Chains A and B, each alone.
Chain A
Amino acid sequence: EAQVTQNPRYLITVTGKKLTVTCSQNMNHEYMSWYRQDPGLGLRQIYYSMNVEVTDKGDVPEGYKVSRKEKRNFPLILESPSPNQTSLYFCASRTFGGSGSSYNEQFFGPGTRLTVL
C-alpha cells in the first residue's frame, strides 16, 4: 500500500530534550516536506527536500533541522525543543517534475502530535 508513515504519533517531552520524528514514504517520491498545523494558521511548511541531500527552508524553519540521506526517509529533528513548538506535525511527499494530473498532489502522513512542556 502506498503510504507516508510517521513515528511517533504522539510525543510529550520537556524543554531542551532533543527529539527526532521519523518520516518514510514507499512511493519513490523525490519531493518531501514537513508542515506544522496550528489552529487558525493552517499548515505551514517547515522544510522541504527536492531529492537526496537537497533540503531547503520553508516558511517556519527556526528551531528545526532535517536530513535526506535516503530517498524514502526525511526525519525532522528538534535539537532543543521549546513550548512554542507544541503542534501537530505532518510529513508529505509527492513526485517532482513529470506531467499529468498526479503532478504536485501531495500525500500526507498520519501526523505527530508533539507537546513540549
Chain B
Amino acid sequence: AQSVSQHNHHVILSEAASLELGCNYSYGGTVNLFWYVQYPGQHLQLLLKYFSGDPLVKGIKGFEAEFIKSKFSFNLRKPSVQWSDTAEYFCAVVGSAGNKLTFGGGTRVLVKP
C-alpha cells in the first residue's frame, strides 16, 4: 500500500525566510505527486504536480518542488515566504493505476510578519 510522510508537523518562520517542507512516499511503481495548500478556513487547492519529465516542478505563488526518485522524495520549496503563505500544506501521491490519492499528515506553516 502506498503511504506518504511529512517530516514536520509545524513550521514557524519570518517573512522573507526560505521554506522547505519534506515529503517522502512509499510505493513500488510509477507515481504522480502533488502538493496541496489549505489556507485558513478554505478548501484544498493544488499548488503543483509532477507527472513525468523535468523533476523540478514549478507551481503557483512561487513554489517549486523537486522529485528525487532515488530518495522517494518530493520536497516543496519557496525561496522567500510571505505572511500570506500561512497555511497547511499537504503532500499527496497516486500510483500509476490512478485509483487512490494518499495524503501525508500535513505541515502547518506560520509566517510571522
Binds B, one of A18-26, A67-75, A100-108: A100-108
| Known contacts A42-B104, A42-B105, A43-B90, A101 near B51 by CB under 8 Å | yes
Within 8 Å by CB of A42, from B34, B90, B98, lies: B90
Binds A, one of B14-22, B38-46, B78-86: B38-46
List residues 20-72 of chain A with CB under 8 A from any CB of chain B. 33, 35, 40-45, 48, 50, 58
Check A104–B103 contact: CB distance below 8 A: no
The interface residues of chain B, by DSSP majority, are classed as strand
List residues 7-40 of chain B with CB under 8 A from any CB of chain A. 9, 32, 34, 36
New A-B pairs, 20, CB < 8 Å, besides A35-B103, A108-B44, A111-B43 = A40-B106, A42-B4, A42-B90, A42-B103, A42-B105, A42-B106, A43-B103, A45-B100, A45-B101, A48-B99, A90-B43, A103-B51, A104-B94, A104-B98, A105-B34, A105-B49, A106-B101, A108-B36, A108-B43, A110-B42
How many A-B residue pairs have C-beta atoms within 8 angstroms? Tell me.
48
- For the complex, count residues of B whose C-beta is within 8 A of A: 24
Check B32–A90 contact: CB distance below 8 A: no
- A-side contacts of B45, CB under 8 Å: 108
